[in-house]
Amino acid sequence: MQKELEKLQRLQEIDYELGELERSKYYLPDMIRNLEKEIEETSSTLEQLKKDYTEQNLLRKRLETEVDAQNEELKKFQDQMKVIKTNREYDALTTEIANKKLKISENEEKILELMALIDDLKEKIGEYEKKSGEVNKSNEEQLVTLRKEMDSIGSKVAAKEEERKVISEKVDKRIMAMYERIKNGVGSHVVVAVKKRACGACFKSLPPQRIQEIRKGNAIITCDSCGRILIWTGE
């Protein structure tokens, strides 16, 4: 009977491994999508930063060109101040000069703000270039492994099912039927060890006589509480 119990233990191991393979069909694709998403998001953020950097630089250059043109106009107005002849012309030109200086000042302030923004973007681009490289390298390595695992699930399941079939055919039919019935009822941990003089699954205390019977291993003994098959592992 001890041999039968050992076969049941191996069957339980195979059933657990098959369950893990089935679960991996769901969590592996999620892991792959998350890794791909992280690569995409990091790359997208980097591209947006570079786009913003280019746009802000172009805006800065346009403003600098505009300031140069405004300074030229201001110089012309200032030169005209030397040749005006009437108070009316003086007042009009003074207003033009004041307005021009105000626009130049506003644009120069915008340029300073843009320069600070551009420096910040440049720093972030450097950070994200480093991060993107690290994420791509790390995630691509993991993706290679995960995709191989995905591709091998079918063959692994087939191998485990074949091993299960070979072992189950060697188990007494009545014992095998009992194993399947218990598995269908409890889902997992059909065969459990005695721990601290109790069932290792439901922790129901076992009488001394029952423990002695389990230690002998001469019969299939189940827990009166949860129905699982009990074995002795040397406690």
User: With a threshold of 0.75, does the pTM exceed it?
Assistant: no
Residue 84: pLDDT band (50, 70, 90) is confident
pLDDT value of position 187: 82
In order of their start, the domains of the chain are 19-154 (1.10.287.1490), 178-231 (no CATH)
pLDDT value of position 217: 86
Question: For the purposes of burial, counting CB atoms within 10 Å of the CB of 26, is it exposed (0-12), middle (13-18) or buried (19 or more)?
Answer: exposed
pLDDT value of position 82: 86
Which residues face 105 on adjacent strands?
none
Residue 235: pLDDT band (50, 70, 90) is low
Interval 173-196: pLDDT, tens: 999 999 999 999 988 789 999 999
Structure tokens at 102: 């105000």
Residue 225: pLDDT band (50, 70, 90) is very high
